[in-house]
A and B are shown apart, each in its own frame.
Chain A
Amino acid sequence: MQFMLLFSRQGKLRLQKWYVPLSDKEKKKITRELVQTVLARKPKMCSFLEWRDLKIVYKRYASLYFCCAIEDQDNELITLEIIHRYVELLDKYFGSVCELDIIFNFEKAYFILDEFLLGGEAQETSKKNVLKAIEQADLLQENIDFQMRLFAGNFGGKPNNPCCSIRSVALDVNSPPQGQQKQHPSNINTDFEVTGLLFSLISQPSCLK
C-alpha cells in the first residue's frame, strides 16, 4: 500500500498515512486530486479507480471516505477488506465509532492504524491482538492518570474505561457526571454530520455495493 487517506464528505482530510516518501507539495496535490475524484463518484459505482499508475480503492462509511492507494498487481478486494477491518477496529475501540471520534482522537486512530498496518503491509490481522497491543499502552496511561488524580486529591472512583479516566476529573471539576453515555458537544454541527454519525457496520457486512 502506498498511502491511506480518510476524508469527510465535505472533502476535509481526517487522517493521512503515507508509506512512500513524498514531498509535502506532492502529498497535498495527490490529496486534493483524489478527494475531488472520489467525491465526484456516485454511490453505485465501482470502488476501484485507476489513477496515474496506481490503483485507488475507496469505500464510504457514513460520512467518511476511506481511500487506499495500491500498486497495480495488488489485490483490490483484499484492500477493501483492509479498510473494513480498520473500521471494525475503530468501532470496537471507540464503541460505535463516528467521525467525531476520529476527529477528536485522531492520534488514537493513528495508533490503531500503526498497530494494524506497518510500512504499508498488514501486520496483524487479528482484531483481538491489535486491540490488546493498544490497550496495553492505554493501561499504562491509566495507571499514570490514576496516580495523578490521587496526587491532585481528586480521585472519585475507579474508571470503567481507560479512555474515560480523565473525563471524571474534568467532570468533577465542572459539571455533574454524565454517566457512560457517549457525549458530543452540541455546538459542533456545521462541519460534520451529527445525525446518522454511527457507522452502519452491523447492517453493512462489507459486501460490495
Chain B
Amino acid sequence: MSDVVEKTLTALPSLLSLDSQPGSGKLSSTSKLGNLIRGITELTSKHEEEKLIQRELSSIKEQVASPNTSMRQMKELMVRAIYCEMLGYEASFSYIHAIKLAQQGTVLEKRVGYLAVSLFLNESHELLLLLVNTVLKDLQSTNLIEVCMALTVVSQMFPKDMIPAILPLVEEKLTHPKEIIRRKAVLALYKFYLIAPNQVQHIHNKFRKALCDKDPGVMTASLHIYLQMIKENPEGYKDLTASFVTILKQVVGGKLPMDFNYHSVPAPWLQIQLLRILSLLGKDDQSTSEMMYEVLDESLRRAEMNHNITYAILYECVKSIYTIHPKAELLEKAAKCIGNFVLSPKINLKYLGLKALTYVVQQDANLALQHQLTIIECLDHSDLVIKRETLELLFRITNAQNVTVIVEKMLEFLRLSKDDYTTIDLVGKVAELAEKYAPDNEWFIETMNTVFSLGGDMMQPDIPNSFLRLLSEGFDSTEEDRQLRLFAVDSYVSLLQGEPGRLPQRFLQVISWVLGEYSHLREGLEPATTLRLLAKLLDMKHTSSETKSWVLLAMSKLCEGPDCVSLAQELSERHGGSLDTVLRQRVQELRHLSEDAELRASVLPRDAAQEPLEVDSSLSFLDGFVSEALSAGAAPYKPPHQRQEELAQAKALSLEPYGLSLPISMSSCSLADRQSPTLLSMSSGLSGNSTDLSHKGGSTTLKLDGVKRVWGKDGYLAQKEPVEESAQVEVPSPLCSPSRQGGADSTHSQTPTPTPTPEPEKEKQQLASSLFVGLGSQSSVCLMGKSEQTPQRFRRKAKGQGSSSGASEQISNSHYSTQSTVDNLLCNNLLDSTVTSDLAVSTPEQTPQLSQEVATTNGTCDAEQDLIEETDPGNSPSLIRANSTVTADPPAHKDPDRPKDSCLSSHLPAELAGLSHSEIIPLCSSQNLDLSACHVQKEDALLLVIFIENSSDSDIEQMLLQTESDELEVSCVTDSPVEAVRSLSVSVYQYSLMVKRPAAHVALAGTASYQLPSGESQVMQFSYRLPLTSFIRPLCVSTEEYGTLWLAFSQDTKQNLALLNDGQDPLTATLDVLKNKLQLHVVDIIGAEGIVACRLLQGQPCLMHCRVHAGSLAVWLRSPVPDLPDCLLYHCQRALQEH
C-alpha cells in the first residue's frame, strides 16, 4: 500500500505533497518520516541502519540545498533531520536551514524551525547569532503564537551577549494583556537572570510586579526567579516573607481556581516552590521563622491524603521545618512524618525517608535510634540505591564505638559498586572515618590498605597525601608512632611479596614511600630484601613512570652496601636511557647516592620526614647564580604568562585560547581539587544543613587553584595545610570523657531485646546494637556540634615550630566554639531535659577559647586605635616645615611649628574638615606667597588640597595653578577657581586624584603663576608626592567572590614578607597590621592561610593570598593592573618594618 501512496504522492502537484508534513497526525506513518521509521524497524543490524540513515541524510542534504524546496517541504525535511539526530547521526548541515525556516516560514513552519533550532543547537553555538533578528521580529509580531514561540526559544537558549538586544522587548511583554505571554516573558527573564544576572538587575521591581500578578501562573513563574535570588542573598528579601506566607496560606486553603489542582491537591508545584523559598528565608533567622510556623503546620496537616503528590509536599515541609529556626512542636510532627516515610512499604518513600533522616540526624540522633531496625533492613536491601543512602546516614552517625562496623559495611558496598563516582565519594568517607576514629593501628592500616586498593587511581589525591603525612608527622607518643609505622611496613612487605601487579599505582606509590622511609624500623628486614621487592615493581608492565620515580626514590633511601651498588648500576643501565627525564634523573641520583654513603646521609637523612623542611620558596639561594648569569648577558626571567602576553602581542592575532599559565602537578593541586571530607562534615555539622553542603563543598575553603605549592615530588608534606588543619579541631577534653562514656553505656543497655526473637532477628539486633552504640539522648549533644569528645586516636601532633599551627588552631577553635554554642542553644530548645548535661559538657571547652577570642578582639581594637592616633589631625601633632623643599614626604619629618598648621587646617573646606587629612606640608614659597598642601582620604576619592597663603600686604591677581603627572589623573574640583588671593588670606584649591599608573609613590608636579600688584608675573614650581597607599581602599568581597576574582586574573607576583611575632597568632597579627596601615580587607583566615583584598580608588582590585610558611609570610598577589602588586608589596614590607 505504501508504494501506492508514494506513487500517488509524487504524481500530485507539489501543493499536495503536503501530506508528508508532520501535522498530518495519526497517518503520518505513510509520510516520508513514516517510511524512514518503518525502514529502520525492518532492519536487522546496526550496520544496515547506519547505511540507511546515511542515505537518508544525503538525500535530505541535497533537498535542503536545492533552491526549489519550498518552506513547507523544508519543514518536513527538518523533522526527518531531527529524527536522524535523535538516532545519533550528525546532521549539522541542516542547522542553518533550521534557522532559515524559523526566519522565513509561515507560523507553522516557524514552529518546526524553532523546535529544530532548540534541539540542534545549544546556547554557545555560533549559529545562534543568526537567530537574533528572527526573534526580534517575532517578539514584535502581532500574532500571539509567534510571540509565544519567540519567548519559548529565548527561554531555552539565547546567546548571552545578545540579551541587551531583546531585553526591552521581553520586558515590555511583562505587561502584556495575555497571561501566557506574561508568563513566558517572566521565564525568559529567569533564564537571563541565570546566565547574566547583572543584565536584569534593573528590573527587580518588575519581578515584584510579576509576583503580584493576578494570574497565578505568572506568579508561579516569578517564584523561579525569587528562589534563585533568595538563594544568593536571603537577607535582601526578608521583607517578602509575609507575602510568601500569605500566598502559601491561600494556596493551601484552596483559594486557587480548580485548574491548578493536580489530583485534587491545590497547585503542588507552587506549594513546593514556596516551601523552598521559605526555608531559605527562615534559615538561622528566628523572627522570620516565627512568621511561617503556622502555615507550615497547616501544610503538614492538609497534606494527609495518601498520594504521591502529598508526600512530595510533606517531604518539602519536613525539610523546611528542619532548616528554619526550630520549633519543638513542629519538629515533633516532622519527625513523625519522617517515621512514616521510613516505615513505608513503598520504596520511593523509604528512600526519601532515609534521605530526610540523613538530613536531620545531626540535630536529633534519637530519630536514627528509633528506626534502627528499619535502617538495618535497608542496609541489606537488594536495591543498591537504598543501600547507598543508608550508608550515607550511617556515615553521619559514626563515632568511635561503631566505626568498625560502619566502615566494614561501607567497604562491603565498595566491593560491589561499579560506579566510579560512588567509589570516589565513598572511599573518601571511609578514609575520613578511619583517620578520625580508628580503634587501633592494625585496623587503621588494614582499612587504609583496602581503601587504596579499592579506590584505585580514581581516588582523590589527598587521601594518600594525608595518610602519608599522618605517618610522618606522628602523634603524641613516639612508641605509638613506631608501632604504626612498623605495622605499615610489615603489611606492605607482605603485600609486595604477594601479587603487587594488581595494586593500583597510587597504592604502590604509598607503599614505596613508606618502605623507603621506615623499613629500617623492622629489625631483621634486610634493606637488600626490600630493595629487591621494590626493584620488582620497576619491571612490571603496568607500573607508570610516576610510580617508578617514587620507587626509585625509595630505593635511594635504602641502598646501602655493595649489593645495592651493583643493583643501582644495573638499574641505571636499564633505565638510564629512558625517555622520561624525571625517571632518568632519579636513576642517576640512585646510582650516585648508592656509591657515596656520606652524601646520601646528608641528602636523605633518616627520620627526617617529621623535621620541618625549610623551603625557600623565593629561591633566594639562587640569587648569586642569577646575577652572574644576568651580568653574563642572559635574558631576565619572565613568568610564563608574561611571555605568553608578549607572544600574543607579537603575533597580532592569536585565536588560540591560552591554557592555564601555571603548571599543575598532582601534588600542587591536590588540595584545591577536593575539600577534605573532614572539613565538609564539620561545616555541615555546624550549619545544621547536612545534605546540601556535602556536594557544594565547604564554602570556607580557600580557592587555591593554580597557586604554586612547594611540595616535594616524593609526597613529603612538610607544611600544614589549612584545610587539613580543621580536622584537628576536635580537641579531646578529658573532663568530658566520663560523661560521654556514661552516655554510651546507658544507650548500650537501652538498646532493647524485649521479646525472644528468632535467629535472623537476633542477628539484626546485634548489628543494631553495634551500629547505634553511642547514640543516645546524652551523646546526641556531642553529635550536635560534631564535637567528638573521645580523644581522637590519630590526632596530629601540634607543631611548635613558628607557632603558626597552634595559632591557626586557635582561630578555628574560637570559630568553632561559638558555633557549637549556637548549636547547644538550639539543643536547649529541643531537649530541655539535657540542658544541664549539655552545659556541663560545653563549658570547660569554651571558656579558654572565649577568652582567647576576647584577647584577639582587644588586639584588633588596640591596633585600630593606633591607627586613629596616627592619622587623626586632632590628636597627632601634625606639623609643617619651615624650610621650603620642593619635594615633601609627609610622614618623614617633624617640625615644631604647630600654630601655623592648625590655622591652615582651619581653612580646610567644611565638608572635608571632619575627615582625616595628611600633614600639611609646604610646597614652595616666595616673598608673597606660601603654597602648602595636604591630601584628604575620602571613601570614594582622594582629594589634594592646596593652600595658597598670601602673607603680603597686597592682593595677588591672576592666580593660576597647573598640575601634571605621569602617574596621576588630576582634576580640579573647586567650582570656580580662585583667581585672586587677598592680602593676608588663604585660598584653597581642591583636586581629585586618580591613579593612572601605579607606582610605590606617585607624584605630581605643578606650577603656580600669578601677578604681583606691580604687574610683574611670577611663576613658582612645586611638586607633591604621596604614597600609593592613599589610593588603596578595602575591597569587601566574600570568599566565593574572591575565588572567582582570583581565577580571573593571571598576573601572579610572589614574595615573602616578615611575619610579626608578638604573642598571639602571627598571621592574624600581621594581617591586622596590614589591614590597619594599608586599608586592606581581610576576607578570610583559615588555618595558616589568609586571603586579603583591596582595590584602587577607581576599582581595580588586587588580591593577596598569604600563607604562613617557615616563619615568614608567603604572599601571592594578583591584579589586573600589572604594577599594582609590586607597589603594594613594597608598602606591605614597609608597614611591617615600621610596626
Does A49 lie at the interface of the complex (its beta carbon under 8 Å from any beta carbon of B)?
Answer: yes
Contact of A123 (CB < 8 Å), options: B183, B268, B308: B183
Does B910 lie at the interface of the complex (its beta carbon under 8 Å from any beta carbon of A)?
Answer: no
Hey, which chain A residues are within 8 Å of B8, CB to CB?
173-174
Contact of B86 (CB < 8 Å), options: A13, A76, A129: A13
Hey, which chain A residues are within 8 Å of B220, CB to CB?
125
Q: Tell me the smallest distance from the CB of B66 to a CB of chain A, in Å.
A: 22
Q: Tell me the smallest distance from the CB of B947 to a CB of chain A, in Å.
A: 61
Contact yes or no, A166 B311, CB < 8 A: no
**In the complex, A164 Cα to B19 Cα: how many Å?**
11
Q: Tell me the smallest distance from the CB of A41 to a CB of chain B, in Å.
A: 8
Given contacts A46-B383, A104-B37, A152-B15, contact A129 B259 (CB under 8 A): yes
Hey, which chain B residues are within 8 Å of A190, CB to CB?
41-42
Contact yes or no, B312 A77, CB < 8 A: yes
**Chain B, 648-659, contact with A by CB distance < 8 Å: what is the 0/1 string?**
000000000000
**In the complex, A44 Cα to B383 Cα: how many Å?**
9
Contact yes or no, B25 A163, CB < 8 A: yes
Does B331 lie at the interface of the complex (its beta carbon under 8 Å from any beta carbon of A)?
Answer: no
Contact yes or no, B156 A75, CB < 8 A: no
Tell me the B310-335 residues at the A interface (CB within 8 Å). 311-312, 315-316
**In the complex, A67 Cα to B124 Cα: how many Å?**
25
Does B187 lie at the interface of the complex (its beta carbon under 8 Å from any beta carbon of A)?
Answer: yes
State how many residues of chain B have any CB contact under 8 Å with chain A.
Answer: 97
Given contacts A21-B123, A78-B312, A107-B112, contact A44 B190 (CB under 8 A): no
Contact yes or no, A125 B25, CB < 8 A: no
Does B83 lie at the interface of the complex (its beta carbon under 8 Å from any beta carbon of A)?
Answer: yes
Contact of B24 (CB < 8 Å), options: A122, A166, A174: A166
Q: Tell me the smallest distance from the CB of A188 to a CB of chain B, in Å.
A: 6
Contact yes or no, B122 A22, CB < 8 A: yes
Does B562 lie at the interface of the complex (its beta carbon under 8 Å from any beta carbon of A)?
Answer: no
Contact yes or no, A16 B86, CB < 8 A: yes
Does B710 lie at the interface of the complex (its beta carbon under 8 Å from any beta carbon of A)?
Answer: no
Given contacts A174-B5, A175-B1, contact A106 B83 (CB under 8 A): yes
Hey, which chain B residues are within 8 Å of A170, CB to CB?
5, 19, 24, 27, 30
Does B302 lie at the interface of the complex (its beta carbon under 8 Å from any beta carbon of A)?
Answer: no
Contact of A119 (CB < 8 Å), options: B190, B307, B346: B190
**In the complex, A151 Cα to B14 Cα: how many Å?**
12
Contact of A126 (CB < 8 Å), options: B12, B24, B260, B691: B260
Hey, which chain B residues are within 8 Å of A205, CB to CB?
263, 307
Does B34 lie at the interface of the complex (its beta carbon under 8 Å from any beta carbon of A)?
Answer: yes
Tell me the B51-86 residues at the A interface (CB within 8 Å). 79, 82-83, 86
Does A158 lie at the interface of the complex (its beta carbon under 8 Å from any beta carbon of B)?
Answer: no
Q: Chain B at the A interface: mostly helix, strand, loop or mixed?
A: helix
Q: Which residue of A lies closest to B118 (CB)?
A: A114
Contact yes or no, A188 B22, CB < 8 A: no
Contact of A105 (CB < 8 Å), options: B28, B145, B183: B28
Hey, which chain A residues are within 8 Å of B187, CB to CB?
118-119, 121, 123
Q: Which residue of B lies closest to A114 (CB)?
A: B152
Hey, which chain A residues are within 8 Å of B115, CB to CB?
107, 110-111, 114
Binds A, one of B347-355, B364-372, B448-456, B972-980: B347-355
Contact yes or no, A48 B351, CB < 8 A: yes
**In the complex, A150 Cα to B27 Cα: how many Å?**
20
Contact yes or no, A46 B347, CB < 8 A: yes
**In the complex, A18 Cα to B124 Cα: how many Å?**
14
**In the complex, A15 Cα to B87 Cα: how many Å?**
10
Hey, which chain B residues are within 8 Å of A75, CB to CB?
272, 312, 315-316
Hey, which chain B residues are within 8 Å of A30, CB to CB?
none
Hey, which chain B residues are within 8 Å of A46, CB to CB?
347-348, 350-351, 383, 385-386
Q: Tell me the smallest distance from the CB of B281 to a CB of chain A, in Å.
A: 15
Q: Tell me the smallest distance from the CB of B324 to a CB of chain A, in Å.
A: 15
Contact yes or no, A18 B122, CB < 8 A: yes
Hey, which chain A residues are within 8 Å of B122, CB to CB?
18, 21-23
Contact yes or no, A13 B184, CB < 8 A: no
Tell me the B508-541 residues at the A interface (CB within 8 Å). none
Contact yes or no, A52 B421, CB < 8 A: yes
Hey, which chain B residues are within 8 Å of A152, CB to CB?
13, 15-16
**In the complex, A162 Cα to B123 Cα: how many Å?**
34
Does B692 lie at the interface of the complex (its beta carbon under 8 Å from any beta carbon of A)?
Answer: yes
State how many residues of chain A have any CB contact under 8 Å with chain B.
Answer: 95
Q: Which residue of A lies closest to B4 (CB)?
A: A174
Contact of B262 (CB < 8 Å), options: A22, A101, A121, A125: A125
Q: Which residue of B lies closest to A181 (CB)?
A: B26
Q: Tell me the smallest distance from the CB of A69 to a CB of chain B, in Å.
A: 14
Tell me the A174-188 residues at the B interface (CB within 8 Å). 174-175, 182-185, 187-188
Contact yes or no, A192 B41, CB < 8 A: yes
Contact yes or no, A21 B157, CB < 8 A: yes
Q: Tell me the smallest distance from the CB of B697 to a CB of chain A, in Å.
A: 11
Contact yes or no, B108 A140, CB < 8 A: yes
**In the complex, A161 Cα to B23 Cα: how many Å?**
12
Contact yes or no, B145 A136, CB < 8 A: yes
**In the complex, A163 Cα to B348 Cα: how many Å?**
38
**In the complex, A141 Cα to B26 Cα: how many Å?**
15
Contact yes or no, A81 B262, CB < 8 A: yes
Hey, which chain A residues are within 8 Å of B421, CB to CB?
50-53
Given contacts A81-B262, A144-B108, A185-B38, contact A119 B351 (CB under 8 A): no
**In the complex, A27 Cα to B184 Cα: how many Å?**
27
**In the complex, A105 Cα to B23 Cα: how many Å?**
8
Does B90 lie at the interface of the complex (its beta carbon under 8 Å from any beta carbon of A)?
Answer: yes
Contact yes or no, B19 A169, CB < 8 A: yes
Q: Tell me the smallest distance from the CB of B170 to a CB of chain A, in Å.
A: 13
Contact of B23 (CB < 8 Å), options: A81, A123, A166: A166
Hey, which chain B residues are within 8 Å of A140, CB to CB?
107-108, 145
Contact of B40 (CB < 8 Å), options: A49, A85, A123, A191: A191
Does A206 lie at the interface of the complex (its beta carbon under 8 Å from any beta carbon of B)?
Answer: yes
Q: Which residue of A lies closest to B267 (CB)?
A: A125
Q: Which residue of A lies closest to B223 (CB)?
A: A121
Hey, which chain A residues are within 8 Å of B351, CB to CB?
46, 48, 76
Does B874 lie at the interface of the complex (its beta carbon under 8 Å from any beta carbon of A)?
Answer: no
Q: Tell me the smallest distance from the CB of B391 to a CB of chain A, in Å.
A: 12
Contact yes or no, A121 B190, CB < 8 A: yes
Does A28 lie at the interface of the complex (its beta carbon under 8 Å from any beta carbon of B)?
Answer: yes
Contact yes or no, A73 B692, CB < 8 A: yes
Contact yes or no, A78 B217, CB < 8 A: no
Does B994 lie at the interface of the complex (its beta carbon under 8 Å from any beta carbon of A)?
Answer: no
**Chain A, 52-83, contact with B by CB distance < 8 Å: what is the 0/1 string?**
11000000000000000000110111101100
Does B942 lie at the interface of the complex (its beta carbon under 8 Å from any beta carbon of A)?
Answer: no
Contact of B18 (CB < 8 Å), options: A84, A166, A184, A208: A166
**In the complex, A138 Cα to B79 Cα: how many Å?**
17
Hey, which chain B residues are within 8 Å of A108, CB to CB?
22
Contact yes or no, B25 A72, CB < 8 A: no
Q: Tell me the smallest distance from the CB of A174 to a CB of chain B, in Å.
A: 6
Contact of B145 (CB < 8 Å), options: A14, A28, A137, A166: A137
**In the complex, A51 Cα to B267 Cα: how many Å?**
29
Does B269 lie at the interface of the complex (its beta carbon under 8 Å from any beta carbon of A)?
Answer: yes
Hey, which chain A residues are within 8 Å of B316, CB to CB?
75, 78
Does A207 lie at the interface of the complex (its beta carbon under 8 Å from any beta carbon of B)?
Answer: yes
Hey, which chain B residues are within 8 Å of A165, CB to CB?
23-25
19 contacts between A and B (CB under 8 A): A21-B122, A45-B385, A50-B388, A77-B309, A100-B29, A104-B37, A106-B86, A107-B22, A119-B155, A119-B190, A121-B190, A124-B180, A125-B270, A127-B259, A133-B180, A163-B23, A167-B25, A173-B12, A185-B34
Pairs of residues from A and B, 4 with the lowest C-beta to C-beta distance, nearest first: A163-B25, A77-B312, A166-B24, A191-B41
Contacts from A to B (Cβ < 8 Å): 13-19, 21-24, 28, 42, 44-53, 72-73, 75-78, 80-81, 84-85, 100-101, 103-108, 110-111, 114, 118-119, 121-129, 133, 136-138, 140-141, 144-145, 148, 151-152, 154, 161-167, 169-171, 173-175, 182-185, 187-192, 205-209
A sample of 11 more A-B contacts (CB under 8 A), given A119-B187, A144-B108, A148-B18, is A21-B157, A53-B695, A72-B691, A73-B691, A104-B33, A111-B115, A165-B25, A166-B18, A182-B26, A188-B41, A208-B349
